[in-house]
Amino acid sequence: MKRAELVFRAALVVCVTAWAIQASPCPQSAQTQPNLLEESDIDRLEKELADPITRLSAIAALADFGARKLYQVGSVFIIVGDAKRSALCERAAKLARMYTDITTVSLALDSADPRLQLWGLCFWNAGIGKAVQSAGRNPSVLPKEGLTDEENGWHALMPTVRRLAKDGPYRSLAIDNLAIFSRSENREFLISMIPTEKSAGVILQLLERTEMRRIGEPSKRDERFNEELLRLLADPDIKVRRAALAYIAMNWNNAEIYQARFGAIVSQRVEELRKSDDGEEKRLANWAAEGLEKIARIWLERDSAKTT
């Protein structure tokens, strides 16, 4: 399988993950649950989809309802229990895929509606991925001979994707999209986000996506991550400190690629915050200390396995 196709498929899986993470972290209220559509609603939305004036609102409703099917890729299957609802979700997803042209995706990315931003990011991802695949090139490097017309059309939306990487509700997806396609073009932009970033998880993602090292060269990602964590743990905004502590507490539970090696400077700062006058910060610092012990054991076992 060609590299472009492999990266394209991997990029689509990012969309599934982004949707799943957004949908699952906590119980949703009735107001935030996806709209439950009946067949008559989908009939109406199909008509609205054909009209450019009502197309975006129709896509938002269809994508919201059909998300489990719309963002299902390859071997990733999300089951909808009720057979009738499953069929309606499938139909909604099929309709939501009908207008994935550059103009519609551009309008979705510029929308203030998070449902459209997610849809736009996923289909920008798919659109630029197909363009790269058609060109038969390495998606991480801009070709000397220049981009094809099709690629140029999708690349023109890059500034909007960058804006969403900074302040959109699906920042991680936008960051991954920028890193996967034309990494050489976006690397400096992604690196520039790190010094002012307030989310530990986003910082680790940015460091992971922008690190470049030779084969056999040790990674310096975690060393830099520790430095940035120390910045967050000293932030004057207590909410930033609390969020950083919570991230440390749960890092052991991350996928291996996003498990970090925490250094003594972070452990020392966590110990200092365990004496905080703020009750919630103190609680989170104690939780972070437990998390540091858990991740240290994981790394010890992992390192021991490599030497045996």
In the prediction, which pLDDT does 180 show?
83
Cα angle 115, 16, 59 (rounded to 5 degrees) comes to: 30
In the prediction, which pLDDT does 183 show?
66
CB 258 within 8 Å of CB 204: yes
Domains identified in the chain and CATH numbers: 3-196 (no CATH), 221-307 (1.25.10)
Mean confidence (pLDDT) of the chain: 86
Q: What single DSSP character describes residue 146?
A: -
SS3 265: helix
Residue 30 pLDDT > 50: no
Residue 10 pLDDT > 80: no
Distance CA 66, CA 36 (A): 10
In the prediction, which pLDDT does 267 show?
97
pLDDT tens digit string along 58-101? 999 999 999 989 987 654 445 556 788 889 999 999 999 999 99
Distance CA 228, CA 52 (A): 46
Average pLDDT over residues 192-203: 96
Residue 217 pLDDT > 90: no
pLDDT tens digit string along 126-161? 898 888 888 887 776 777 778 888 889 999 999 999
How many angstroms separate the Cα of 217 from the Cα of each of 15, 220, 258? 31, 9, 19
The count of other CB atoms within 10 Å of the CB of residue 31 is 5
